[in-house]
Structure 1
Amino acid sequence: MLGALDTYALRDFVPVTPEVWSGLFERLNGQVWPWQGLFLLLMLFALWRLHRGGSATAGLALAACWCWSAVQFQFLLHAPLNWAASLMGWAFMVQAVLVFLVGLGGGWRFSGGLRAKLGVVLVLAGIVVLPVTGPLTGRSWAAFEVAGTAPTPTALVTLGMLLLARPISWVTGVIPVLWLVYSSVIWWVSGWLPGAVVAPLAIGTLGVAMGASPWSRGREPS
């Protein structure tokens, strides 16, 4: 029986084909147009409020983006193709609650240093680099992934905010990281390298930040 596993490739364990997966983002943009612009602004607003010390409003804006992505992508588009997508949608809802509660507790307050610089890298990756890389490497402009609506850039920006904030609320990073791993596996099977390397690069960035963070070692900076 174990020998039979040798006949399977990674592609056989991916629930959607590369063509369908890429097409989901075209459908997502058509489905939500023009509201993805509003939720991108909400993402930017969350970043601005974090920088200005408005933890509660930063958490609320970020939570709204996760709820929006859960409904529009996971429940309405992904779930009809993959039974596990409904669970992912509920996980996104849990993420929304987590970032909101962290905000209420004052957890979205701006920090600095190397950790914050790494956070800026992830934020820029989610808002600019990943979305633009798609069309520049052969994907359709209609499949442009907008942070605040599409899950992968939303996850990247959230992880960036996590590193920008003080203290680090690592619990808010679990679901975004799991999503990035799932997405990267699908893009790896699809043969789109920029999407495939997102999870390893994001996890590597978090690892460097953990080593550089005094809060991750349980003490406040002097």
Structure 2
Amino acid sequence: MSQALRSAKERALQIVEKASRIRIQDARDNIGARTAGRQLKKGHNQMGHTQGALERAAKPPLGWIWGDFFRPWQRMYPGEKLFNADIKYGFLEFYGKKVAKFQVTKNDSNISSTRREYIPLSLVELARLIDLGWINPRLPIDVSTLCATQKFQINPKIRQYGFDLTEEGADSFPYPIDIEVQYATQSAIAAVEKAGGRVRTAYYDVESLEAAVNPKA
């Protein structure tokens, strides 16, 4: 058995000794190591339309993956059940005036016009309201406090869901406040915490937000 092994080793060494140092075929890939990709032909990747100009074709919803028109990513991985689909058929009321007519159903994918809006609130505006005495920095600040100043208007009927705290004026914000907003940037949170305050985020549904904006209604 050992003699056979030695013979195999000797034969292998002889093959290596007789072989050339380098050849072109030594630098090539093995058979099947690489495969050719899909050829992009005229009819490929045209969103289901093979005739007519592409710019005149009906565009699919955002997140549509080629080859599966009816399963875009926002339907495969929804972040919220019935996302932005709680608006019924009727007239849109804008401060008491009927200005538009729309309909959004459960299976409607064109929801870009009904996304939630957050009113921007910069740290400069917040510091100015505190300086003028409209807001008491020693008390907690929330949607009701900000709307009570009559400087901001939030209408939940047009998809306004609260405030967005921005970082404008973060370098000179001096008040250690306790504020509750619906969205805040990292720079704004860092500026408030640097002054000794705290930032909290809270979500309101439509009924709760209407009560917070106007408790007397």
Give the TM-score range, shorter chain: under 0.3
More strand by share: 2
Task: Determine which structure has greater relative contact order: mean sequence separation of CA pairs < 8 Å that are 6+ residues apart, divided by chain length.
Answer: 1
Task: Give the number of the structure whose alpha-carbon radius of gyration is greater.
Answer: 2
